[in-house]
Every structure is written in structure tokens, then in C-alpha cells.
Amino acid sequence: MKLKLILLAVIMLGINVYGKSQNLSAINVAVSGHGTSVSSVELFAGNKWINISLKGRVSFQTQGDNSTNNTQIAYYDQFDGVEKTGKAKSVDNIGFDYYDRFDDDVLRGKLKQAGKLNFTYYDRFDAAELRGKIKSIGNINVTYYDKFDMDNVGKVKNIGNTKIVYYDRFDPVELRGKIKSIQGDSPTINVIGDY
């Protein structure tokens, strides 16, 4: 009987530890007069909210009464290559990786992986107006208005099944290029800036 209880406790502990793996909680979209772009993502891991920009800036906040003094942060140094130097390598057990000198020039230094979450970007094989922009975050695709849309070229069009619609040339001049509507239900999107 005691063996069954111990086995059950071990299984529950394993489920609890597995359940504390990182989850994508938000994609932050920056809006300015010059365009719209994905600026950062937020992960929830264990008891921490981790915000990481696509350029590698990391900030975090601990949930509850736990102190941030117990957080282990590691950074890449000069031996890891100029593209990674000074960027966050890990926060506790969540590792970060970046595109380096072996990747396409337009990708170097950009966030490649946060924990188990992969980031892909448009590269030299894609249209010129898309090069270097985020293409996917995990299994969530990001698309942009392109030259065939004529208006709002380079601005975010879709994140997953969430569509961002802008005022265009058929609208009053003072509204052109501003967000008209955001439609859809995935993922959680935070729109930051002037819109």
C-alpha cells in the first residue's frame, strides 16, 4: 500500500514539474507611425513571466511572494560570437539562442529559440520588403502586407488567425495606415503604441 502511495506521489510530482514548463502567453505588437511589427513575446515559466524582445532583451517578473533573488541569469560572452555577446543565455532553466555568423546576414543576432519555442524569419529567399521580419513564433505564423496589397506594405497582416486591418487609401488621409480593427482569437496579442 505504501509503495502505491509513493508511486502516486512521484507521478503527481512529475506532472507538476512538467506542467511548469514554459508557455507562450502573449505576443507584443509595436505600432508606430512608421509601421507595425512584433516587438517581443512573453512566456510564463514556473512562477515567472519572462518578456524577451526579438533582439534579445530579457525582463522578468516573479509571481507571488517569491523573490527574484533566487533567479539565475546567464549571458553569452565574447567567446560565443559577436552576434550573441551580452545577450541572455538563460533565465533559470529557460535557455535562449540567437542566429549567429553561420546564418543569413539578415538573421544574425535575432532570437532563434526561447526554451522550446522556435522563431523563424523571412530571409534572402523571400521578398525584399519581408527580409529580416519574424515569420513564425512556434507554430504561429506571422504574415505582412506586401506589394500585392498596395497599401500598408510591411505592416503585420496576420498573427495566427488574428487579422490586423488598417485604414487605406480609400479612407480619410489622417487615418491612413492606422489600425482599423483587430479580428480573431489566437494568440493573446498586446498592441503597444500609437494606433
Q: Are 85 and 76 in contact (CB under 8 A)?
A: yes
The tens digit of pLDDT for each residue in 57-77 reads 888 887 765 555 578 889 999
Q: Is the pTM of this model over 0.85?
A: no
Tell how strand 23-32 and strand 189-193 pair up: parallel
- CA 139-142-117 angle, 5° bins: 35
CB 90 within 8 A of CB 77: no
Q: CA 142, 95, 119: angle at the middle one, nearest 5?
A: 15
For the stretch 163-195, pLDDT in tens is 989 998 899 999 888 888 888 876 577 777 765
CA atoms within 13 A on the CB side of 4: 1
Cell of 167: 485604414
Say how far apart CA 167 and CA 173 lie, in whole Å: 9
97-110 pLDDT, tens digit per residue, is 999 989 888 999 99
Tell the residue number behind the cell numbers 495566427, with chain if given.
160
99 residue type, one letter: Y
Whole-number Å distance between alpha carbons of 192 and 178: 13
